[in-house]
Amino acid sequence: MRPTDRPTLVAVAHGSRDPRALSTVTALLDRVRELRPGLDVRLGHIELNEPLLDDTLRSLGTTPTVLVPLLLSRGHHVKHDLPRAAAAVPGGDIRIARPLGPHPLLAEALAARLTEAGWRPQDGSSRNAGVVLASAGSRDPESAADTRRMADMLGERLGGVPVVPAYASALAPTVPAAVKALTARGRHRIAVASYFAAPGLFAGRSAAAAPWIAAEPLGTHPALARLLLHRYDQARALPRAVRRLELSAA
């Protein structure tokens, strides 16, 4: 397929008042363009930042498009906001990819961020170590299931250390409560893995609760750029009559 024949990739970010979020997402999409030269890569936000998703889609008109959520689990935005935006484009050929997580490439990126923060290979088998996987949280039960699955993947990646999912909003446990639970199990060397695509209020609040080390958000890690393209390719392969991947699929 020639580059001009490929659907446009529109990465859909949530949006944040933290200016670092927009610069991080912009840099991530530059990585995606480097990996796939000639691919038209755009950005759209659900709220708070420009360009807004509706404006991005309006500018593309009926150009074939794949929406790739820069979101880490199933939830309201993926299930409702993206289909609504796609349906608002008359005659649009718009496919919606799965959210990024859970996926082994995210476990790779999370483990790398922990290593950057000071995690050592021997911590993976230590009886004193533990990890809290800090995420935004959602009232959608499938979102929580995705985060739990991601915690399991990260624990396997790190060598079997317990990884407890925790949430900055909407759900329990909070990061401090998860830290307390691990401490009660005799785990005193507790790291916080930042399960956020970019810096922001929730990521900062979660990091501040770390009793030992706190990893940076996923950000521009190369595995995240590869995963964006993987989700794009999955959705692009759909027949035109099927516009949305089953979100429950792996």
Q: What is the pLDDT of residues 47-77, one digit of tens each?
A: 999 999 999 999 999 999 999 999 999 988 8
Q: What is the pLDDT of residue 81?
A: 93
250: pLDDT strictly greater than 80: no
Q: What is the pLDDT of residue 240?
A: 61
* pTM, to two decimals: 0.93
End-to-end Cα, the chain, rounded Å: 26
- Give per-residue pLDDT as tens, 175-188: 999 999 999 999 99
Would you place residue 247 in the very low, low, confident or very high pLDDT band (cuts 50, 70, 90)? Answer: very low
Q: What is the pLDDT of residue 188?
A: 95
Q: 76-80, 96-100, 109-113: lowest mean pLDDT where?
A: 76-80
E strands along 100-243, which residues? 129-135, 163-167, 189-194
Q: What is the pLDDT of residue 238?
A: 79
What is the rounded CA–CA span in Å between residue 215 and residue 206? 10
**Are 24 and 216 a contacting pair, CB within 8 Å?**
no
Mean pLDDT of 187-194: 97
Task: Look at strands 8-13 and 94-96 and give their pairing.
Answer: unpaired
What is the rounded CA–CA span in Å between residue 175 and residue 237? 39
**Are 66 and 232 a contacting pair, CB within 8 Å?**
yes
Angular region, 183: left φ>0, alpha ψ -120 to 50, beta rest: alpha
Would you place residue 5 in the very low, low, confident or very high pLDDT band (cuts 50, 70, 90)? Answer: confident
